[in-house]
């Protein structure tokens, strides 16, 4: 018989009574992340897919107070992001780590296995990723050079590749080549990309409610 789950919870590093200054926050469907000024990352909420990044879902199905991710201690963190049930962080050296639900390949790790702890996307380590906007079951990687890569669920065209199948590893959106994308935003199943120099916005994905802004309801 293994250790008592309650004892496992007690070993987790929660926020102490000392002052913690939060500088970034991110939210998924039912979980949250917070990055502090001293580089500590905390998570709380639902953990059924491992999206908290601290323990397996079997040992910790949810947690109702901020708990520190200790497997990344020593990594200088720059940015955090959440999808529906998955999470990302980018280090100051542009390393990308993902964890949580991965049933559509949204973590970009070349499989469909969910992760309970941060795992590095080695295919992205030389590309200079600076932001990871996320939809419900897909992810978008924006590089320092304005390139856009996507992975995960593609059933509504939200990955921007002109097809409706899933991608297991981040794939460059070829239709955006030649444009320097400065910002990307995601809904559950649609994506917007901004070219600031010309004030142009590109949209793709689910359009059934007119969310693409192209005067029709076609995806």
Mean pLDDT of 99-116: 98
For residues 100 and 50, give the distance between their C-alpha atoms in angstroms, rounded to a whole number: 5
pLDDT greater than 60 at residue 3: no
Mean pLDDT of 28-48: 97
| DSSP-assigned beta bridge partners for residue 138 | 152
The tens digit of pLDDT for each residue in 136-172 reads 999 999 999 999 999 999 999 999 999 999 999 999 9
Which of 48, 153, 150, 159 lies closest to 104, judged by CA? 153
Spatial contact of 73 and 100, defined as CB atoms under 8 Å apart: no
Q: Which two tokens stand for residue 30?
A: 């039912």
Q: What is the pLDDT of residue 14?
A: 64
For residues 202 and 180, give the distance between their C-alpha atoms in angstroms, rounded to a whole number: 12
CATH: 2.60.40.10, 3.90.580.10, 2.130.10.30, 2.120.10.30. Which one for 5-173? 2.130.10.30
% of the chain beyond a pLDDT of 70? 92
Q: Which two tokens stand for residue 62?
A: 């949810």
| DSSP-assigned beta bridge partners for residue 100 | 86, 115
pLDDT band at 103 (very low <50, low <70, confident <90, very high): very high
- Hey, where are the domains in the chain? 5-173
% of the chain beyond a pLDDT of 90? 86
* Element holding 68 (H helix, E strand): strand 62-68
pLDDT greater than 50 at residue 10: no
Mean pLDDT of 57-62: 95
Per-residue exposure over 53-70, b if at least 16 CB sit within 10 Å of its own CB, e if not: bbbebeebeebeebbbbe
pLDDT band at 20 (very low <50, low <70, confident <90, very high): confident
Place of tokens 């809904």: 187
Mean pLDDT of 82-90: 98
The tens digit of pLDDT for each residue in 147-157 reads 999 999 999 99
Q: Which two tokens stand for residue 48?
A: 């059924």
For residues 137 and 89, give the distance between their C-alpha atoms in angstroms, rounded to a whole number: 17
């Amino acid at each position: 018989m293994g250790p008592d789950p309650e004892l496992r919870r007690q070993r987790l590093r929660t926020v102490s009574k000392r002052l913690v200054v939060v500088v970034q926050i991110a939210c998924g469907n039912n979980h949250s992340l917070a990055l502090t000024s001293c580089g500590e990352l905390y998570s709380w909420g639902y953990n059924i897919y491992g999206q908290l990044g601290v323990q397996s879902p079997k040992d910790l199905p949810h947690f109702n107070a901020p708990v520190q991710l200790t497997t990344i201690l020593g990594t200088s963190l720059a940015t955090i992001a959440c999808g529906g049930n998955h999470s990302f962080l980018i280090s100051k050296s542009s390393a990308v780590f993902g964890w949580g639900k991965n049933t559509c390949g949204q973590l970009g790790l070349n499989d469909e296995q969910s992760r309970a702890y941060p795992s590095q996307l080695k295919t992205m380590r030389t590309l200079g990723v600076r932001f990871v906007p996320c939809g419900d079951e897909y992810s978008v990687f924006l590089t320092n050079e304005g390139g856009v890569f996507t992975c995960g669920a593609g059933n509504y065209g939200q990955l921007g590749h002109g097809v409706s199948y899933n991608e297991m590893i981040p794939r460059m959106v070829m239709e955006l080549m030649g444009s320097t994308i400065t910002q990307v935003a995601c809904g559950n199943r649609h994506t917007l990309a901004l070219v600031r120099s010309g004030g142009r916005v590109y949209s793709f994905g689910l359009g059934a409610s007119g969310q693409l802004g192209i005067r029709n309801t076609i995806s």
